[in-house]
Structures are given as C-alpha cells and as structure tokens.
C-alpha cells in the first residue's frame, strides 16, 4: 500500500492530498521520514571532502525534507482537528522526535564540520544572508548541546525527550478539559442573553450532539456569556469552570507537569552554562536579559493597575445599584463592564455584531493587503482537512505568491485560541517553494457568522502573521517568514490590527448582516472612541501572566508553581477582581513547548514597536501610504530573520521606539 504522505504530491500548488490521507498513514510516514533524514545527515557528516558552506551548511539544509513535509501536515491537523488517533500519535512520537533531533545535534562529526566552517568564516566570501545562516546554525547547535560530551550529552538527550513528552501531555490535558466540560442551558437560563450568544450556545449544542443549548469553554462562547448573562450564580459557575482548566485533579491535572517542566528547563540551561532558563532563553531575543523584560513590564504595570482599580470602583458601584453586596468578583467584571460600556459609549455589542460579519471581515483583511502590497486572493476548490477550512490562491501581478488556508470556527476537536502556521515555508534553496500558510481561529458559528470586535481584531492579527509568511523573500528556509526573535514575531500581527480601526475600512466592510447598510458614522465613532475602553483590565491580566512566566524561569525553579504564582501576584498587588489571562495549569503558551517560555512578554515588547510603526504611517500620509507600505514589506515582512530584529526595525523606522507610543495607544498615558 502506498502512503500518500510519502508520495509525490501531484496536487494543485503542491498541497497535501488531504482527501487521501488517513490517520493510519502518519506513524509509518513519520518513521520512514526520520530514518531517511538521519541517513541524509550522516552523509553530510561523513563527506570526505573538506567542509565548506556549500557541502556542510547548505548540505544540512537539504536534509529532512520528507519529515518536514509530513510533520507540517500532522501538527496542523493535530491542533486544528484532533482525533484520539492523532493524540496517541503525538504521545508516541513527541519523545521519538526529540530523540531524533538530539541525534542530529549530538552528531560530533557533523558539529566538527560546522565548527570548521564557522572558524573559517572570514575567508569564505559569504553573502550577508549566508553569513547569518552560518551564525544561526552554529549557535543553534551550541545552544542545543552539541558541544557537550559524555554524561552531560546523554543527560541533555534525556531532558529533551522528557520535556517533549510533558509538553504534549500538558496540551492534551488542557484540550480534554476544554472538550469535556459542558453545561446544558435551560430556556429560562437564556433570558437576558442577546441573540448572537443564544445562537452560539445553540450551535455548540448541535455540534456536540445535545438536545438543546450548551455552554462550552470555547473563548468565543464563554467570554460573551460572561459579558451578558444576568444570572450571577450561573456566571460564577461558568467562570470557575473556565479558570479551572488543567487543575481539576485526576489524569488531566497539569500542576505537577508544570513543576517538572520548570525543573527540567533549569537543568537544561545549567548544562549549557547559564545561571537560569530565562538567561538562556532571552540571550537570542531583542530583550536579551530578564532585567530588560521586567523593566518594560513594570513601566506598563503601574499605570495599568491604577486604571484598573479606578474602573473596579466604578463597576462595584453598579453592582451595588443592582442590590449585590460584597466585593466585585472576577465573574462580575465583564458583565458590569459591558453595561458601563453601553452607557458611556452608547455602544451595545449586540447591536455592533451584525456589522462585523466574518465574511466581510475576511474581505477587509484581504482588501487592506491588496491596497498595501498588491496581493490578490482567489478562492480555491481543493480538498482540505475539514469542511470548515477554506483556501485561496494569493497572487501579485499575476504571479503565484502563496496558498492561504483559513479555518475560522470553534469545534471540540480544535485547541483553543488562534494561531498561524505554515505547512510549507517560503524558500529559494534548494528549490523555490511558495508557502502554504494557515490561520486558525475559534469563532462561534452562525448564519451568518458574526464577530465581536475582539474577534475581528484576532482575525486581522493572525492575518498579519500570514502576511509575514506569504511575503517572505529569502533564500534559506531557516530565516524565512516568522523565523525571527520571539519578541519581534508579534510586530507584523499586532501592527496589522491597526488597519481594522481605519475608518474607511470599517465604513466599507462593516455592513449590516440583514440590511447590508454600512455601519452608521455615529456607531463607527463610538467604536473608535471605545477602542481603549477597559484597557486597564486587559493590560493587568496580560502583564500579570508575563511577570509570572518570567518569575518561573528566573533563578531556581519553584517546587510549587501555584505558590510562586500566588507570591508574584501578591507582590504586584494584583486587583482581587482580575485574574491572570492564563493561569499556570492552562498556560499553554509557556508549557506546551519552549516557544513562549520566558517569552510571554513578547506581545508587549512587539506592541512598543507596532504602536510606533503605525504612527509612521500616520505621519507619512495615512494608513495606506505607499512609500511606508514598501518600507514595511522590504525591511520587515520580506526580510524574515535575515538580520537582527533591532537592525530591521531601525532600517524601517530610522530609530528604536520607546514605551510612550504603547501607553498612548492603550489609553494609559498620564
């Protein structure tokens, strides 16, 4: 039997043959691709010719293509449309893939060749891009433990395997808690909810095969429920289930897993000669040190907390007026904040949502990309992995640029949140590859599907990541697209959110689902005026999470992460009516892999730049200024990781920014 994952993909644009791929194909394909990849690496390592950039660095880049292709498909499906079989494959292969990577990075003959090329670099007449790739390759091997020997090398291999297993288990536990909890709602309990929330819980009930409406822990369902449900006891029940993900006891509890992950990360960092994991992790980021990260976060924390406490007092007054005594609780904040927003801005999300149709917001994101970068989007009729996923060919001046896949609706098989990934990244070596870029979101279904303003911002955010992938124009895949410093990667995504707030964009695309009429200017003005509403709350819940993440990885790891979380929040004076956006047991950013560990601050680090970058457009000639768009593409979007992030930003803007633009953008400036 042939395995479609290993066959040549004779499909439009080289898309995976999703209609032929079955779960049973993944394990043998991964095994075969790993074996093939190791043979390719060994051929590079044992090449009898003296090491050169071409036969060693480029030679290494030619290896592992089959595995990259198979895993590109598998990990996208495992996150967006999980099955029991896919979860089992992840559990089986996470340690195997970690061991596979450890074998490559532990290949002494290969590292010797890389080291020789590195030491001879001044005499090699490399292009700037080649010099960058050589540095990153050498640094990557050293940071992975290639220079370790004996027991230290063996222990590093063990650590990587165990961390891979634990990260997979953490994510699967979280998905299980989100998937398994549901609360059937009676018709009486729907009273007071706006139509779009009722539609969402009915759709969730249908998706789960229930007889009636069901409340789930999907963010697109539970957040609006907490905003609008007048039943305080029901709000508390729902909120407690939401924040308890990962700490319900039993086999899906993540607390001990988090503690072990932190201890193993610290051991890994010390094996490599670092004082702690934060120092190891931040060395390659723009921030460089834990002190720089804490400085930024605390510059924002104090004005954000002050604003949040002011807002809390106002919300508590409203609660008292409702006859509720006692302090404002976390399950009260969204409800009374929504009521206050309706009053202060005369802005009702139930009235706003019909103007934010999913289809029209997709059109808006595409239209902005067309006006800025000349991109055009043509819907494709091709087999995909789920009936909700859709695909477009992206072209410019008639030439193929990329394939873009959008998968927008929440479902029980999809992990929570929103993300962008590439099933195939852009490159010119060893052959030209047009990227296949995927945006995953978790919006509530409806007919038509309506978004909250935050949902619409999420759509633009993830599409900003997609543009970073699609417009990449480098030679080597390892510096392609979003392969940049973690605290720089959010710049394109957060910057693109600003175009949603451009009045002419909303005037054109924010049209009513029933009447087709454009959003009235009065409502548009209210939307823009309310853009920084509740920013104290939003900033506090985010910065608290980032500071806890930093504390976990700086110094010796805590034996009890929950106690350390409580200590950090107490030291900060965390407002009692606000909780961390991501408490430890469901902090997937930090514990499902190393990507955002010690790095959750990076959204705010990038926000300092995105606020400043959009100001550059406004100073130049407006949101669609062609000269600024050209500079944005040339120095940021197309450049990938071809230079250090601060160099790229300075080339774009002429200087590095300060925190002032961020505070102004969040409405927190004094």
Q: Give the catalytic positions in this structure.
A: 462
Strand (E) or helix (H) holding 380: strand 375-380
Residues forming a β-bridge with 503: none
CA–CA gap between residue 331 and residue 488 (Å, rounded): 34
Q: Residues 627, 616: contact at Cβ < 8 Å?
A: no
List, in sequence order, every beta strand (DSSP E) within 168-261: 183-184, 214-215
Measured CA to CA in angstroms, residue 478 lies from 135, 312, 342 at distances of 12, 47, 48
Question: Cα 81 to chain center, whole Å?
Answer: 17
CA–CA gap between residue 485 and residue 147 (Å, rounded): 23
Q: What is the CB neighbour count within 10 angstroms for residue 359?
A: 12
CA–CA gap between residue 651 and residue 401 (Å, rounded): 25
| Cβ-based burial of 400 (10 A; exposed 0-12, middle 13-18, buried ≥19) | exposed
Query: Who contacts 329 (Cβ-Cβ below 8 Å, separation ≥6)?
Result: 236, 577
CA–CA gap between residue 546 and residue 600 (Å, rounded): 5
Burial annotation 573-595 (CB, 10 A radius, 16+ → b, else e): ebbebbbbbbbbbbbbbbbbbbe
Ordered strands of the 375-380 beta sheet: 375-380, 390-396, 399-409, 436-443, 419-424
Q: Which two tokens stand for residue 246?
A: 């990962």
Residues forming a β-bridge with 357: 450
Q: What is the dihedral of CA 263, 266, 267, 270, to 10 degrees?
A: -160
Q: Residues 476, 133: contact at Cβ < 8 Å?
A: yes
Residues forming a β-bridge with 440: 407, 419
Q: Alpha-carbon Rg of the chain, whole angstroms?
A: 25
- Strand 390-396, strand 375-380: pairing: antiparallel
SS3 call for 482:
coil
Q: At what angle do helices 232-243 and 219-228 cross, to 10 degrees?
A: 150
């Amino acid at each position: 039997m042939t395995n479609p994952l290993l066959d040549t993909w004779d499909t439009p644009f080289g898309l995976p043959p999703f209609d032929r791929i079955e779960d049973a194909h993944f394990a043998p394909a991964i095994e075969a691709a790993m074996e093939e990849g190791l043979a390719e690496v060994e051929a590079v390592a044992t090449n009898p010719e003296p090491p050169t950039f071409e036969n060693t660095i480029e030679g290494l880049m030619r290896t592992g293509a089959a595995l990259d292709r198979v895993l590109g498909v598998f990990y996208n499906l495992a996150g967006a449309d999980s099955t029991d079989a896919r979860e089992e494959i992840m559990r089986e292969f996470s340690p195997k893939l970690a061991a596979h990577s450890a074998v490559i990075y532990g290949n002494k003959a290969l590292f010797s060749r890389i080291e020789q090329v590195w030491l001879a670099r001044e005499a090699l007449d490399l292009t700037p891009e080649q010099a960058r790739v050589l540095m990153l390759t050498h640094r990557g091997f050293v940071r992975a433990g290639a220079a370790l020997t004996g027991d230290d090398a063996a222990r590093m291999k063990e650590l990587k395997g165990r961390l891979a297993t634990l990260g997979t288990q953490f994510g699967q536990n979280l998905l299980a808690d989100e998937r398994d909890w549901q609360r059937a709602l009676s018709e009486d309990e729907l009273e007071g909810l706006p139509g779009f929330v009722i539609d969402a819980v009915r759709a969730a009930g249908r998706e789960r095969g229930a007889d009636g409406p069901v409340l789930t822990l999907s963010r697109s369902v539970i957040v609006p429920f907490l905003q609008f449900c007048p039943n305080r006891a029901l709000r508390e029940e729902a909120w407690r289930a939401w924040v308890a993900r990962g700490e319900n006891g039993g086999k899906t509890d993540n607390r001990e897993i988090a503690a072990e992950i932190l201890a193993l990360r610290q051991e890994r960092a010390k094996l490599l000669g670092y004082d702690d994991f934060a120092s190891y992790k931040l060395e390659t980021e723009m921030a460089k040190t834990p002190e720089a990260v804490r400085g930024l976060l605390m510059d924002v924390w104090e004005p954000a907390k002050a604003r949040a406490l002011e807002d809390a007092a106002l919300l508590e007054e409203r609660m008292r007026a409702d006859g509720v005594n006692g302090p404002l609780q976390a399950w009260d904040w969204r409800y009374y904040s929504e009521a206050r927003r309706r009053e202060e801005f005369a802005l009702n999300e139930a009235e706003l949502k019909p103007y934010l149709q999913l289809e029209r917001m997709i059109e808006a994101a595409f239209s902005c990309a067309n006006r800025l970068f000349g991109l055009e989007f043509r819907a494709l009729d091709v087999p995909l992995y789920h009936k909700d996923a859709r695909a477009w060919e992206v072209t410019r001046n008639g030439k193929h640029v990329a394939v873009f896949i959008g998968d927008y609706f929440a479902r029980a098989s999809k992990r929570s949140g929103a993300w962008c990934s590439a099933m195939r990244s852009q490159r010119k070596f060893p052959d030209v590859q047009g990227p296949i870029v995927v945006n995953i979101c978790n919006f509530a279904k409806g007919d038509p599907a309506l978004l909250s303003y935050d949902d619409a911002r999420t759509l633009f955010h993830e599409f900003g990541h997609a543009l970073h992938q699609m417009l990449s124009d480098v030679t080597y895949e390892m510096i392609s697209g979003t392969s940049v410093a973690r605290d720089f990667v959010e710049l394109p995504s957060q910057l693109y959110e600003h175009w949603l707030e451009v009045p002419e964009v909303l005037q054109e695309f924010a049209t009513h689902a029933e009447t087709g009429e454009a959003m009235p200017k009065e409502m548009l003005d209210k939307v823009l005026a309310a853009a920084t509403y509740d920013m104290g709350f939003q900033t506090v819940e985010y910065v608290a999470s980032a500071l806890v993440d930093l504390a976990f990885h700086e110094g010796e790891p805590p034996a009890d992460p929950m106690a350390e979380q409580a200590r950090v929040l107490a030291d900060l004076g965390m407002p009692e009516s606000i909780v961390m956006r991501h408490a430890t047991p469901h902090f997937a950013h930090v514990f499902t892999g190393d990507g955002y560990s010690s790095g959750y601050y990076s959204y705010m680090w990038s926000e300092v730049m995105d606020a400043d970058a959009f100001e550059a457009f406004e100073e130049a000639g407006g949101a669609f200024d062609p000269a600024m768009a050209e500079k944005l593409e040339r120095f940021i979007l197309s450049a990938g990781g071809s230079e250090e992030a601060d160099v790229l930003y300075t080339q774009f803007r002429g200087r590095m920014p300060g925190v002032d633009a961020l505070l102004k953008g969040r409405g927190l400036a004094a």
